[in-house]
Amino acid sequence: MSDLFSPEMLSFIAAALRSSTPVLLVVLGETLTQRVGVINLGVEGQMLVGAITGFAVTLASGSPTLGLLAGMFAATLLSAVHALLSLYFGANQIASGLAVLILGAGLSAFYGIPYVGEKISGFGSMAGVPLLGPLLGQLSVSVLIALLLTPLIGVWLYTTRTGLAWRAVGESTESARAMGINPLLIQWLGVLVGGLLSGLAGAALSVDYTSNWIENISSGRGLVAVGLVIVARWNPYLALPAALLYGGSEALYLRMQTWGVGVSPYLLSTLPYVIPLSVLVVTSGRLRQRGGGMPEGLKAVFKGS
């Protein structure tokens, strides 16, 4: 038991939580989006737009808080493009999401050119805050935000009337309409909230996690998060353990490099992707056998794609 609370183990847990935070925020956002019967593969592009916007605003203002807010706003605007294409014009949701992904990647690469090599001061750790303890003191503001949002979103989705409305729309828009719910409005909100959280994830990545900007800084985290929504069974409460598959793997491979493990660092760097995808493959088969937890509205999306 003492080993669990050793400085080395606490440092590893803190690193895993920091690495998991951007993925966790995207998983939470995409869970809410898919819960209303819409899938958005553009979250990777939204993360990138949120990352470059958050970094640029933080560099200009010196305020990482403004950077996070700006990143959330920019990604929400980009998610509105997906909502407009798929919900208003009736475009295929898979194709629309991919278009948003490519658009976001292109915009972030173009507007991020002047910021390559720049450094900012993010939030830093909270080691100086009393009563937080040795673990929480190693975390930063964005990590604590993500950890607090996870149970709050779960409580909202499963215990409130508006949460019930979102779940009803995801199961059947016709039944929701018969209950007096406006399905189109709920679906728009679902896409926009998902964009807001993916923007927060991207901004947290550049402002709080790396404190710099490089092209394609998200490195596929958004697409991994879409798969982890399935691993979490569209349940916000399971979003954290699902995200830790990525964050824990990333923290492990970084530790393995410092240990001098005789494996190519390029091969080790695939761990954060191989492990979550392997779990996804294993759990997908079991979910199909047990009925899963996929909203009925999503099944119609995949059938039509």
Ranges 44-48, 116-120, 132-136, most confident:
44-48
Instruction: Select from 189, 196, 191, 192 the least CA-distant residue to 69.
Output: 196
Query: 């979250």: which residue's tokens?
Result: 43
The helix/strand/coil state of 270 is coil
Instruction: Select from 86, 105, 81 the least CA-distant residue to 202.
Output: 105
Structure tokens at 162: 């508006």
Amino acid identity, position 245: L
Domains of the chain: 9-120+138-304 (1.10.3470)
Q: How far is Cα 198 from Cα 140, in angstroms, rounded to an integer?
A: 18
| 257-294: pLDDT as tens digits | 676 666 677 777 788 888 888 888 877 766 655 556 78
HSE, side-chain direction, 13 A CA sphere, residue 99? 14
* Banded pLDDT at 12 (limits 50, 70, 90): confident
Structure tokens at 181: 């719910």
212 pairs with which residues across the strands? 119
Q: How far is Cα 57 from Cα 261, in angstroms, rounded to an integer?
A: 40
Backbone torsions φ then ψ of 298, nearest 5 degrees: -70, -35
Q: Tell me what pLDDT residue 301 has.
A: 72
- Cα-trace Rg, the chain: 19
Q: How far is Cα 120 from Cα 58, in angstroms, rounded to an integer?
A: 7
- Backbone angle region of 112, left / alpha / beta, with phi > 0 → left and psi within -120 to 50 → alpha: alpha
Mean pLDDT of the chain: 88
Residue 118 is classified by DSSP as -
* Banded pLDDT at 131 (limits 50, 70, 90): low
Q: Tell me what pLDDT residue 1 has.
A: 45
Q: Tell me what pLDDT residue 268 has.
A: 72
